[in-house]
Structures are given as structure tokens and as C-alpha cells.
Amino acid sequence: MLGVLTRRLGELTLPRAATSSPSRFWTVYGIAWTAYGAGLAAILIASGRPPGRAVFVGLSFVVTAALAGIGVIALCERVPWPPQNRTRFVVIQLASGAAFTVASVVGTLGLLSIGTSLLSGVPALMIFPGPMLLLHVGMALGLYMVLALLVYTIQLAVRVREEQSRVATAEGLRARAELQVLCAQLNPHFLFNTLHSVLALTRKDTGAAETSLQQFAELLRYTLRVNQNRHDVVLLREEWSFVQDYLALEKLRLGDRLTLESDLEDDALQCSVPAFLLQPLVENSIRHAIAPDETGGRLRISARLTGADTLVIDVADDGPGTTLDAVESASGVGLRIVRERLASYYGDRGRLDITTQPGAGFVASLRLFADVPTFEPTERLLP
């Protein structure tokens, strides 16, 4: 019997704060009721009852109320605050309050009757005289309210704590994702080699060194600005100017191995696009087609509007090319970043097509919904 009871207690839905240490919760619960019972007995003694009798009454009441209280806790857990249906909540609470009151009064009287019968050897049925009954009902109702209030307070506190830790986790994940993007944008090889080239320029050609450092700073500023502001929509003109700075620095390293042709039409440059849409494609070509080849290669970048509302951007190189399978299984983050940006910004109104074959170069072609902003999105980027 006791085993069954303990098991049932174990299965009971505890207030969520208690689930981490159920034994502690029940200890506190027991201590609180013992204290309450002791207080009740003390009052009875003070009002002239014989001590034995007073303790007995206190004990009967506390045991009944504590057991009924477990039911209250379980119920409040199942009927969480805030309620989905207010009327239902009130009805349930009223009914359960009444049940708790009846259970504790009847239980107390039952225990008292049994105790008295056992002590006197004569069957006895105890009842509360009118004023005492009223006092007990009032006490039970008060206790019910305290119990329910306590359970709901714990519920809310736990929910707030969980929400806080969820927010913190999400924040951490986002920060890590941002850092990943940032690291991908600032490829360390590019970073340190560029610094090495600029260091060489400081001796050779101070003017060129200054220009390069400014371009380098612009590059960093754009990257940081886009990462800091959550609005990472820019005009294609801005992205293109970023790519031009990037290409100027790559040119510093690669010298005449990098040949560039660009044709970006004015109305195409007025479209807004997600930042870092073009640069990863350009970097991809440099990394796989131009830099590994001792004679270098040619990079062609074009952008134009076609039809009513389609923006077409092509980034093509005449490098060694590859197979589409190899592109799909590549570990690099460049194309992945572009695809993710396309998906989140355009949904199904933008796509990236790759045309390549071993020995036949590599063409990345973006076909996007031409989003011509009615106001300057530059303003959105300002802090």
C-alpha cells in the first residue's frame, strides 16, 4: 500500500521547479504542514483546550489537508496559468476549492472520530458545532488559495527562467552563426597576404599603400556594418563597390594574373539585394580559378535587368571548371552562404544556377526578382 502510494507520488506531476529535486520539494512541503499543525495546536491550547486534545486535532487536520493538498498541486499543474479558457479555469478552481474544503473537513472529522473511538473504546462520531465548522471551512478555503497561488507562482518563475535561458541560447547560436559568416567573409589567407602586400607597398609606393589601406578599411567597415545592423539589405551598387575594393586588394596580391571585365548596368545597380550576395561568388572564382593557376585567368562580372522584373547577375571565370557533383559536395561555405541568403531573402523568387564542366570554366548565374526600392536603403544601414 505504502509502495503504491510512493509510486503514485513519484508519477505525480510536480510543480516544474520541483522536478529537479523532488525530494527537497516534498521535504519543504512536509515541514510547512508540520509548522502549520504546530501553530494550530498552539492556538487551541491557548484558547483553553487540553494539550493532548489540541495536538490531536492539529494532527488530524494537517494530515488530511496535506494529503488533499497533493491533489491540489497535481490539479493546478494540469490547469496551467494563464488559462486558455477563463470560465473553465474559474469553474475548475471553484470546484476543486470546494472539494479540498469538503475533503479536509470530512477527513479531519473522520480521523478525530476514529481516534476518539480508539481511545475511549466506544464508537464515536465527531462533528463540528456550527461556529467551529465555519472556522474550519474558512481555514480550508484560505489554505486552498495559498496552495494554488504558490503553485502558480512557481510555474511562472520556472517559465520565466526557461524563457531566459532559451533566449540566451538563441542569442548564442545567432552570435556563432554571425561569427561564422564573418570568418568566411574575412578569409585569413586573404587577410594576411593582403597585409603582407600592403607592408611591401609602404616602402615601395606610399601613395598606393595609403589607397590599399583605405580599401582594406572600407572592406572591414562594410563587413562589420552589415553584421552589426540586422538589416543586411543593400543596393547592388554598394555590394559592387565592396567587391571592387576586394578585387583591388586581390589584384595587389595576384598582379597581372587577374584580368577583370565588368559590365554592370545602371538600372541593375539600383536594385536592392542581400549583402554578401556577389562577393562570395567572386571570391570563389579567385580561389579556384585564378589563384591556383600560374598564368592566372579572366573574371567576368555582369548585371542587367531583363523582362519586367528580373535581375540577372553573372560571375564567370575561364578557370579549370569542375563537375556539378563536385560543386554540390564542396566543403566551402561561399556558395552555401549565397544560397542561404537567396532562400531567406527571395524565397522562390531568386535562384543560383551553376554552369561548369572540367576544362570549361565556371559560371555562377543569379536570376532574382528585381527589387527596386522606393527609398534609399542606405539610410536603413546607418546606425
Nearer to another protein, 42 or 208 (CB): 208
Q: Are 298 and 317 contacting, i.e. CB atoms less than 8 angstroms apart? A: yes
**Residue 246 CB neighbour total at 10 angstroms:** 23
**Bridge pairing between strands 362-369 and 310-317:** antiparallel
Site string for another protein, 257-296 (x = CB under 8 A): ----------------------------------xxxx--
Q: Are 336 and 344 contacting, i.e. CB atoms less than 8 angstroms apart? A: no
List the one residue out of 345, 336, 322, 203 whose CA is nearest residue 271: 345
Separation CA 259–CA 107 (nearest Å): 94
- DSSP helix/strand/coil, 190: helix
List the one residue out of 149, 167, 165, 166 whose CA is nearest residue 15: 149
We find the least distance from the C-beta atom of residue 6 to another protein, in angstroms, to be: 35
Q: Does 322 bind another protein (CB under 8 A)?
A: no
**Bridge pairing between strands 272-274 and 233-235:** antiparallel
We find the least distance from the C-beta atom of residue 63 to another protein, in angstroms, to be: 44
Q: Which stretch binds another protein (CB under 8 A): 31-39, 174-182, 215-223, 252-260?
A: 252-260
Exposed/middle/buried for residue 120 (C-beta within 10 Å: 0-12, 13-18, 19+): exposed
Q: Does 217 bind another protein (CB under 8 A)?
A: no
List the one residue out of 327, 316, 324, 329 whose CA is nearest residue 290: 316
Pick one of 174, 196, 221, 351: the residue that binds another protein (CB under 8 A): 196
Nearer to another protein, 191 or 233 (CB): 191
Separation CA 27–CA 14 (nearest Å): 13
Nearer to another protein, 239 or 250 (CB): 250
Q: Does 188 bind another protein (CB under 8 A)?
A: yes
Q: What is the largest CA-CA distance in the chain?
A: 116
Pick one of 121, 255, 359, 383: the residue that binds another protein (CB under 8 A): 255
We find the least distance from the C-beta atom of residue 180 to another protein, in angstroms, to be: 17
We find the least distance from the C-beta atom of residue 191 to another protein, in angstroms, to be: 8
Q: Does 192 bind another protein (CB under 8 A)?
A: yes
**Residue 96 CB neighbour total at 10 angstroms:** 18
Separation CA 318–CA 299 (nearest Å): 7
Q: Which stretch binds another protein (CB under 8 A): 85-93, 197-205, 270-278, 349-357?
A: 197-205
Pick one of 40, 41, 57, 254: the residue that binds another protein (CB under 8 A): 254
Q: Does 252 bind another protein (CB under 8 A)?
A: yes
In angstroms, what CA-CA distances link 293 with 170, 246, 260, 289? 43, 19, 15, 7
Q: Does 193 bind another protein (CB under 8 A)?
A: yes
Pick one of 125, 149, 179, 199: the residue that binds another protein (CB under 8 A): 199
Site residue total, another protein (CB under 8 A): 22
Site for another protein in 2-61 (CB under 8 A): none
Contacting positions for another protein (CB under 8 A): 188-189, 191-193, 195-201, 203-204, 252-255, 291-294
